[in-house]
């Protein structure tokens, strides 16, 4: 498809599915479009002012809603030391429910947006309003159960509604650079996860959790809501791809199931370093508070870079090759760099490697969507697969893995008979996690 605009003309459109890349049929009559409206032009794909504004807006929205959810560790540390939540044993559930539901709710929101395309572009401001109100209401909470319901569940639902249109419309704005676009959007999550905790830590120390939660809600809405005008479809809703979002037979097909299983296994181990690395650096290697927190910052910043690189690779390499690169890099990092390390500097090298390879795993998903699309052309029985819904169900699999990883990590760090009997990281208190993560990533 050329980079120039496409002229829509007066032509009675035949009933058929039109892909975002293909646009709308044209005819020699240039006076009116196929639906009797005055002539207008579609903006170009893979470039141009509107495409880049769309991508920039998606980057900011995804960065804030996901980055805030992944920054709950700062709140957890504060809640565990201050009334009225210090005596509660369920504080961690707030963070796990926020992240897990944000992933699990994605295919539901994407499916509803597919069913009601005329209203989908309004989902972002509505979702932002829900997420912001949930944080403001959470500032009034006096029990952990209320925090779970508001800062956890309701925030996740609002955030899912807000970010899903960014995924829905990428297919319309980018074709040859689709992987790069997904990588940039998902990279915002890592960057925000490195910056937001620093801001929250300062706010909590100076103003407490009530003011911090209210300020967070206002900031998220004030920053993201104006940008939602750029998160819009490239094609008129009536011309968008006609799909059946709830056709779920592909979930158990031989094409999709291996990718979903790999996503589930990867997610089961992926989230644990962000939980344990600061403690590992402080207790095993004697790092100070800032130097121990630097481990997570390095992972998040490296994740941002890795997502963009991996997304670009998916535009050029098969999905399986990109998944192999991510898995091998992660395994080498855990088994060799961390496993044989006994110095803080080497641990920092591991954090960078882990962020580049493990953190970029989700940027392989555009390759999976493309691979299933090619297989669909060869197998008519899979003709109902919607690439956007593939993305949604991969998110759901990652959500299940994130929920499972917490209890598993607790079980694996008990009864470590080899502690002190092996060299490097293998003889430390966290070796069981390192070994398990490497096995799951390989």
Query: How far apart are alpha carbons 373 and 383 in whole angstroms?
Result: 9
- Of residues 310 and 74, the one with the higher pLDDT is 310
- The SS3 call for residue 29 is coil
How sure is the predictor about 114, in pLDDT bands with cuts at 50, 70 and 90? confident
Q: What is the pLDDT of residue 238?
A: 62
Q: pLDDT by residue (tens digit) across 402-425?
A: 888 767 766 666 655 555 555 566
Query: How far apart are alpha carbons 156 and 331 in whole angstroms?
Result: 31
Q: pLDDT by residue (tens digit) across 190-209?
A: 889 889 988 998 899 899 99
Best CA proximity match to 392, nearest among 176, 246, 234, 177: 246
- Of residues 73 and 128, the one with the higher pLDDT is 128
pLDDT for 120 beyond 70 = yes
pLDDT for 229 beyond 60 = yes
pLDDT for 430 beyond 50 = no
Query: How far apart are alpha carbons 211 and 203 in whole angstroms?
Result: 8
Q: How far is CA 313 from CA 46, 106, 177, 234, in A?
A: 16, 25, 10, 25
Q: What is the pLDDT of residue 413?
A: 60
Task: Determine which of 28-42, 273-287, 333-347, 379-393 has the lowest per-residue pLDDT on average.
Answer: 28-42
Helix axes 365-378, 289-314, angle to 10 degrees: 30
Query: How far apart are alpha carbons 243 and 245 in whole angstroms?
Result: 6
- Of residues 406 and 220, the one with the higher pLDDT is 220
Best CA proximity match to 235, nearest among 4, 45, 36, 79: 45
Cβ neighbours around 378 below 10 Å, total: 7
Query: How far apart are alpha carbons 432 and 393 in whole angstroms?
Result: 30
Find which of 18-27, 229-238, 298-307, 400-409 is predicted with most confidence, using mean pLDDT. 298-307
Q: What is the pLDDT of residue 271?
A: 80
How sure is the predictor about 62, in pLDDT bands with cuts at 50, 70 and 90? very high
DSSP state of 139: T
Query: How far apart are alpha carbons 315 and 318 in whole angstroms?
Result: 8
Find which of 201-215, 253-267, 290-304 is predicted with most confidence, using mean pLDDT. 201-215
Task: Determine which of 1-5, 257-261, 288-292, 324-328 has the lowest per-residue pLDDT on average.
Answer: 1-5
Q: What is the pLDDT of residue 439?
A: 34
- Distance from the first to the final alpha carbon of the chain: 39
Q: Which phi and psi (to 5°) does residue 326 adopt?
A: -65, -45
- The SS3 call for residue 184 is helix
Residue 120 makes CB contacts below 8 A (sequence gap 6+) with 113, 114, 165, 168, 233, 237
Query: How far apart are alpha carbons 179 and 310 in whole angstroms?
Result: 8
pLDDT for 440 beyond 50 = no
How sure is the predictor about 76, in pLDDT bands with cuts at 50, 70 and 90? confident
Query: How far apart are alpha carbons 280 and 430 in whole angstroms?
Result: 7
Residue 265 makes CB contacts below 8 A (sequence gap 6+) with 401, 440
Best CA proximity match to 58, nearest among 169, 156, 220: 169
Question: pTM for the whole thing?
Answer: 0.78
Task: Determine which of 230-234, 356-360, 431-435 has the lowest per-residue pLDDT on average.
Answer: 431-435
- Of residues 159 and 423, the one with the higher pLDDT is 159
In the numeric block, the tokens 């996901």 are attached to: 66
Q: What is the pLDDT of residue 424?
A: 60
Q: What is the pLDDT of residue 384?
A: 53
C-beta of residue 284 within 8 angstroms of C-beta of residue 429: yes
Q: What is the pLDDT of residue 274?
A: 72
Q: What is the pLDDT of residue 25?
A: 42
C-beta of residue 442 within 8 angstroms of C-beta of residue 309: no
DSSP state of 337: I
Strands (E), 303-382: none
- Of residues 161 and 381, the one with the higher pLDDT is 161
Structure tokens at 176: 């040859």
Q: Is it true that the peptide bond before 184 is cis, omega within 30 degrees of 0?
A: no
Across the chain, mean pLDDT equals 80
How sure is the predictor about 1, in pLDDT bands with cuts at 50, 70 and 90? very low
Q: What is the pLDDT of residue 287?
A: 83
Q: What is the pLDDT of residue 89?
A: 73
C-beta of residue 91 within 8 angstroms of C-beta of residue 80: yes
pLDDT for 95 beyond 90 = no
**DSSP string covering 35-75, please?**
TSPBP-EEPPSS-SHHHHHHHHHHHHHHHHHHHHHHTHHHH
Q: What share of the chain in percent tops pLDDT 90?
A: 38
pLDDT for 53 beyond 80 = yes
């Amino acid at each position: 498809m050329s980079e120039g605009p496409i002229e829509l003309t007066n032509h009675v459109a035949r009933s058929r599915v039109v892909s975002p890349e293909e646009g709308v049929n044209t005819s020699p009559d240039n006076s009116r479009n196929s639906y009797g409206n005055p002539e207008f032009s579609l903006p170009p794909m893979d470039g141009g002012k509107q495409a880049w504004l769309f991508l920039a807006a998606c980057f900011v929205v995804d960065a804030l809603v996901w980055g805030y959810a992944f920054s709950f560790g700062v709140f957890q540390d504060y809640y565990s030391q201050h009334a009225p939540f210090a005596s509660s044993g369920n504080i961690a559930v707030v963070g796990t429910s926020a992240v897990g539901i944000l992933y699990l709710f994605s295919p539901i929101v994407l499916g509803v947006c597919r069913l009601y395309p005329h209203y989908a572009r309004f989902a972002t401001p509505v979702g932002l309003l829900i997420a912001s109100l949930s944080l403001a209401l959470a500032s009034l909470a006096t029990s952990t159960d209320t925090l779970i319901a508001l800062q956890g569940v309701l925030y996740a639902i609002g955030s899912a509604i807000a970010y899903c249109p960014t995924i829905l419309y990428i297919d319309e704005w980018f074709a040859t650079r689709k992987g790069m676009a997904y990588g940039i959007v998902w990279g915002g999550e890592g960057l925000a996860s490195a910056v937001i905790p620093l801001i929250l830590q300062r706010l909590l120390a100076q103003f407490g959790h009530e003011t911090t939660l209210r300020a967070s809600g206002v900031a998220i809405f004030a920053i993201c809501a104006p940008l939602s005008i750029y998160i819009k479809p490239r094609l008129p809703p009536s011309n968008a791809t006609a799909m059946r979002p709830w056709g779920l037979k592909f979930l158990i097909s031989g094409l999709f199931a291996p990718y979903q299983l790999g996503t589930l296994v990867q997610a089961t181990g992926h989230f644990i370093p962000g939980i344990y690395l600061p403690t590992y650096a402080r207790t095993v290697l004697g790092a100070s508070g800032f130097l121990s927190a630097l481990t997570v910052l390095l992972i998040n910043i490296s994740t941002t870079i890795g997502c963009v690189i991996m997304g670009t690779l998916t535009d050029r390499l098969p999905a399986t090759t990109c998944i192999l690169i991510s898995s091998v890099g992660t395994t080498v990092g855990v088994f060799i760099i961390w496993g044989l390390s006994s110095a803080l500097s080497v641990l920092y090298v591991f954090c960078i490697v882990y962020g580049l390879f493990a953190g970029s795993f989700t940027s392989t998903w555009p390759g999976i969507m493309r691979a299933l699309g090619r297989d669909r052309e060869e197998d008519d029985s899979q003709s109902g697969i919607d690439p956007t819904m593939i993305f949604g169900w991969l998110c759901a699999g990652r959500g299940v893995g994130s929920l499972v990883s917490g209890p598993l990590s607790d079980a694996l760090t008990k009864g470590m008979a080899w502690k002190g009997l092996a060299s490097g990281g293998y003889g430390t208190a966290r070796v069981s996690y390192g070994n398990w993560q490497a096995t799951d990533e390989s």
